[in-house]
Chains A and B, each alone.
Chain A
Amino acid sequence: MSRLVLRNVRKNYGGLEVIKGVDLDIAFGEFCVFVGPSGCGKSTLLKMISGLEPISEGEIAIDDEVVNDVPPADRGLAMVFQSYALYPHMSVRQNLSFGLENLNTPKAAIAQKIAEVAKMLQIEPLLNRRPGQLSGGQRQRVAIGRAVVREPKIFLFDEPLSNLDAELRVEMRGEIARLHRRLGNTMIYVTHDQVEAMTMADKIAVLRSGKVEQFGAPLELYNNPANVFVAGFIGSPKMNFFQGTIHAADGQEAFVQFNSGERIPVSRETFLVSHGLPVTLGIRPGHVTLGPVDATDIKGVVQNIEQLGGESHLYINAADGTPTAVHVDGQTEIALGDTIGLKLDTGKIQLFSRDTGGTLRR
């Protein structure tokens, strides 16, 4: 039920291709997040799924039925827009009932559904107000209510939280996740915020310039990024990248030699490496530990310190000039300008081919 399949979906505007062949298979009940930098085509892709934007090539199928030529309203989808797009001249109640009226739902049924949804989203006291009289969070709830009340097969969210302040965003994030658990529908959620993606998604599709870079569960993306882009996009602070070259003489241990001359060993069992291969080594800030200058892998000078109380972020310029973030538990006594040593957790490093950007993991 309600499985969404995209096969080689493309979109051209004149000669410009903005969606370059997307294949996705989203199972029933999944919470799928499209994430990517702005301009990557994620909102366009969502609009193409909704039917508001026609597709140039490929197929979109809902429940194994190709819906390329089915108008938006008949696809059984509901969408929550970034600007909420509530009808400003209608009361909240009318906003909720508009879609149902268009479906010729009997009045009694409409009233009942609105009552249920209003209760669920706690917007009962607002039903007779106009959108202009509501706060941002309330409008957001109404916009979600308008989608829920139609009982769609699939929910589409287009950056729904981007207009809310940070606190409300966290609250609404939880609320949408609860809604998903409660309704069990398939939901597709577009955001540029990887934290939202990580916290809410069952599956994440990372998009870059019209292509899906990787599609998988959040931790899978975090632990085994398919390429440098995904590795850098998922996780905060960002993963650190060092440029280096593989030294792997036959029968000996392989290691990465940094431009600064320092080297660290890599496992041949985990990575497919060959001698002389230029690589990008990735390591998350949490997998770097501080140590004495002599007994560590890399040396660097502290450029900036963020003390968050429970944790600290150090921003260090490594010997070869690579900016490196380090995550330290608790508070730190290190001062700006200190030279410190960094030790990389060799079990947690990622290696990417510098030519293709793809992972070298076997």
Chain B
Amino acid sequence: MGKIFTFLTRTRGIGRLHWTDWASYAYLLFGIVIMFGPVLWLVLSSFKSEAELQRFPPTFLPYAQEMISIEGYDKPLPLFEITNGEFAGKQAGQVRRIGLVSQLVRPEAPKDLIKMPLADRKPVERIDFAFENYGDLFKRFDFLRYLWNSVFITTMATLIMLLVNSMAAFALSKYHFRGRSTVLAMIVGTLMVPQTVVLVPLFLITRELGMLNSLWGVIIPGAATPTGVFLLRQYMLTIPDEILDAARMDKASEWKIFWRIVLPLSAPAIAVLAILAIMWRWNDFLWPLIVLSQNDKFTLQLALNSFQGQLTTQWSNLLAMTVLVLVPIAIVFAFLQKYIATGIASTGGK
């Protein structure tokens, strides 16, 4: 721990900071602001009420006006501080506002109605997190349904993709058959075809198969990816053939060789692909938008989109939901990212 601290706080200047140290820290700080500024802004904004979001100039923290209950008024009144005139420095609740004139009443004198220009009072505010933005998602919108749809699609699509891709990669890396390089070239070649080009044919096929408005219609068409096949194949090439031969001598079937030998040994590559697949599928928008048109089949991304109407946008709920959508993927990445770097050391060989 001490070592890490020493390493992280290492400077070029001894005792005091060299100008390059200032430059480095300034650059790093700049990076942090660029990377995390928008995220922080999003999270804080998601706790603002709709009115607060519309306010100009915007504030960094979510604020809400204090309310005060005054005798003789049924509802709590918004609290203001009077800044000018006879009652300067006093607090009062606003009864109503007419044009540029505000009618206020002081708690000490509930009967006494004060009239003054708007400019002569300023609202009393406190930091207030509008948790109802989040609560609404569950009460007014079917958040759990969308979450389930997203989770189902992400999990199933990732599992199917890993299985299909690793099987293809196994065949392309460990079997010698006529046309192997042609098949591989074709698979890699599809990388050069943009998704948008095949969107229409893909839609037609999906429709013919009757998979529109079905979660499987989102899952199946993306099950095989050239990136995944290529990534896994390159990794499997590094597994020595002698291990496979040894397994064959041990009377393992080809399926067993794949399942018990090749798959466990490819774990690092599979973990990488799993992370990628989860991120792709969770954030996928275009294809689900095309396939799914019924509200109850929406994924989170589509639900987010539906907050944005033609005339109005419910920013408060939209932002809250965006935060909730971000959380799972951030957690997945935080836990799995170490597998990207680590691998099972080559141990069976020499």
Interface residue ranges, A against B (CB under 8 Å) = 47, 50, 52, 71-74, 77-79, 81-89, 98-99, 102-103, 130-132, 136, 146, 150, 163
CB pair A102–B240 under 8 Å, yes or no, is no
B245 within 8 A of A: yes
Taken residue by residue from 239 to 267, chain B's Cβ proximity to chain A (1 for < 8 Å, 0 otherwise) reads as 01011011111111100100011001101
| A contact residues around B251 at 8 Å (CB) | 73-74, 99, 102-103
Docked complex Cα distance between A290 and B242 (Å): 51
- Which residue of A has the minimal Cβ distance to B346? A88
Out of B243, B246, B264, B345, which one reaches A132, CB within 8 Å? B345
CB pair A102–B250 under 8 Å, yes or no, is yes
Docked complex Cα distance between A85 and B261 (Å): 11
| A contact residues around B38 at 8 Å (CB) | none
B349 within 8 A of A: yes
Shortest distance between the CB of B254 and any CB in chain A (Å) = 11
Out of B240, B252, B344, B345, which one reaches A83, CB within 8 Å? B240
Docked complex Cα distance between A89 and B346 (Å): 9
CB pair A88–B265 under 8 Å, yes or no, is yes
Interface residue ranges, B against A (CB under 8 Å) = 240, 242-243, 245-253, 256, 260-261, 264-265, 267, 344-350
| B contact residues around A74 at 8 Å (CB) | 251
A-B contact count (CB 8 A): 82
Q: Indicate the member of B242, B246, B349 with the most A CB atoms within 10 Å.
A: B246
Q: Given A87-B261, A88-B265, A102-B256 in contact, is the A77-B345 Cβ separation under 8 Å? A: no
Shortest distance between the CB of B346 and any CB in chain A (Å) = 7
CB pair A98–B349 under 8 Å, yes or no, is no
Q: A74-B251, A88-B349 are in contact. List 11 more A-B contacts (CB 8 A).
A: A47-B245, A79-B245, A79-B246, A87-B246, A87-B261, A88-B243, A88-B265, A88-B344, A99-B252, A136-B350, A163-B350
CB pair A79–B348 under 8 Å, yes or no, is no
- Could you list some 20 contacts between A and B, CB below 8 A? A50-B249, A72-B248, A72-B249, A73-B248, A73-B249, A79-B246, A83-B242, A85-B240, A85-B349, A87-B246, A88-B265, A88-B344, A88-B348, A89-B265, A99-B249, A102-B251, A102-B253, A102-B256, A132-B347, A163-B350
Shortest distance between the CB of B243 and any CB in chain A (Å) = 5
| A contact residues around B349 at 8 Å (CB) | 83-85, 88
| A contact residues around B247 at 8 Å (CB) | 87, 98
Shortest distance between the CB of A143 and any CB in chain B (Å) = 8
- Which residue of B has the minimal Cβ distance to A52? B245
Out of A82, A83, A98, which one reaches B250, CB within 8 Å? A98
CB pair A85–B265 under 8 Å, yes or no, is no
Closest 5 CB pairs of A and B: A132-B347, A73-B251, A99-B250, A88-B348, A85-B242
CB pair B246–A85 under 8 Å, yes or no, is yes
CB pair A85–B245 under 8 Å, yes or no, is yes
| B contact residues around A86 at 8 Å (CB) | 243, 246, 348
- Which residue of B has the minimal Cβ distance to A47? B245
Shortest distance between the CB of A73 and any CB in chain B (Å) = 3
Shortest distance between the CB of A304 and any CB in chain B (Å) = 34
Q: Given A50-B249, A73-B249, A89-B265 in contact, is the A82-B242 Cβ separation under 8 Å? A: yes
Out of A82, A89, A103, which one reaches B264, CB within 8 Å? A89
CB pair B345–A52 under 8 Å, yes or no, is no
CB pair A84–B348 under 8 Å, yes or no, is yes
| B contact residues around A84 at 8 Å (CB) | 348-350
| B contact residues around A72 at 8 Å (CB) | 248-249
| A contact residues around B264 at 8 Å (CB) | 89
CB pair B243–A87 under 8 Å, yes or no, is yes
| A contact residues around B250 at 8 Å (CB) | 73, 98-99, 102, 146, 150
| A contact residues around B252 at 8 Å (CB) | 73, 98-99, 102
- Which residue of A has the minimal Cβ distance to B349? A83
CB pair A83–B249 under 8 Å, yes or no, is no
Docked complex Cα distance between A78 and B249 (Å): 6
| B contact residues around A50 at 8 Å (CB) | 249
Out of B248, B253, B260, B347, which one reaches A88, CB within 8 Å? B347
Docked complex Cα distance between A130 and B349 (Å): 12
Q: Indicate the member of A84, A103, A136 with the most B CB atoms within 10 Å.
A: A84
CB pair B245–A81 under 8 Å, yes or no, is yes
| B contact residues around A102 at 8 Å (CB) | 250-253, 256
- Which residue of A has the minimal Cβ distance to B263? A89
Docked complex Cα distance between A132 and B349 (Å): 9
Out of A131, A136, A150, which one reaches B348, CB within 8 Å? A131
- Which residue of A has the minimal Cβ distance to B242? A85
- Which residue of B has the minimal Cβ distance to A79? B249
Out of A71, A77, A81, A130, which one reaches B246, CB within 8 Å? A81
CB pair A131–B347 under 8 Å, yes or no, is yes
| A contact residues around B265 at 8 Å (CB) | 88-89
